[in-house]
Amino acid sequence: MLKKTGIPEEEELKLVLPDDARRKRGPFAVFECFERIPCNPCYDACPMHAVMPFEDINDLPRLDLDRCNGCGNCVAQCPGLAVFVVDETYSEDEALLKLPYEFVPLPLAGSEVDLLDREGKKVGRGKVVRVQKARHRTATPVVWVTVPKHLSMVVRNIGGI
Ligand code: SF4
Ligand code: SF4
């Protein structure tokens, strides 16, 4: 489980994965934030008010998926690197993943990279579509990368840059 390994279990991930109908409607944020800690930058980051107000700063974030448009602001602002955006409508075979990337050098748009799962294991290759540099000191760059559609909830990092 998360507390022992730092990696969320399938049961935990099921709680934050939208239903099939929502997945087919367009991009959505996935909040892999399962520990009660005093933190809420995702709330302030969301221009769509899709992150519901926190009653207690230690609460886990709750997302209104009808409001989320997949902009990715929360990905850049989450200090825990716990938020991703998944767009399974990107193409017939590929999904687009927006992930936080805090290493240097940043990948270049157009380059091919290794796709890594939550444990850092290589599971395929993808193409970097865009790199959003951090706009200020507390933000994290966000990399947009294509992934085979069936790996949209498996890939959570990139390597081989
Ligand atoms: S992806 Fe954009 S709209 Fe969706 S929760 Fe994050 S900040 Fe809000
Ligand atoms: S900013 Fe990230 S770590 Fe903090 S509550 Fe939101 S999702 Fe969790």
Whose alpha carbon is nearest atom 3 of ligand 1? 68
Q: Which residue has the higher pLDDT, 5 or 132?
A: 132
pLDDT of residue 135: 84
Q: Which ligand is nearest to the CA of 82?
A: 2
- Give the residue from 15, 99, 12, 28 showing the smallest Cα distance to 66: 28
The distance of Cα 82 from the centroid of its chain, to the nearest Å, equals 7
Instruction: Give the tens place of pLDDT for each residue, 128-149.
Output: 999 999 888 889 999 999 999 9
Cβ–ligand 2 contact at 41 (below 6 Å)? yes
Element (H, E) at 40: none
Nearest protein Cα to ligand 2, atom 8: 33
The pLDDT value given to residue 48: 98
Give the angle subtended at the CA of 70 by the CAs of 73 and 57, to the nearest 5°.
50
Contact assessment for residue 126 and residue 112, using Cβ atoms and an 8 Å cutoff: yes
Res 66: pLDDT: 97
Ligand 2 atom with the smallest distance to the CA of 54 is 5
Evaluate if residue 4 carries a pLDDT over 70.
no
pTM: 0.95
CA-closest residue to ligand 1 atom 7: 46
Q: What is the pLDDT of residues 23-42, one digit of tens each?
A: 999 999 999 999 999 999 99
Cβ of residue 50 lying under 6 Å from some atom of ligand 1: yes
The pLDDT value recorded for residue 2 is 56
pLDDT tens digits for range 87-107: 999 999 999 999 999 999 999
Shortest-distance Cα residue to atom 1 of ligand 2: 78
Residue-level pLDDT at 3: 56
Position 105 scores a pLDDT of 96
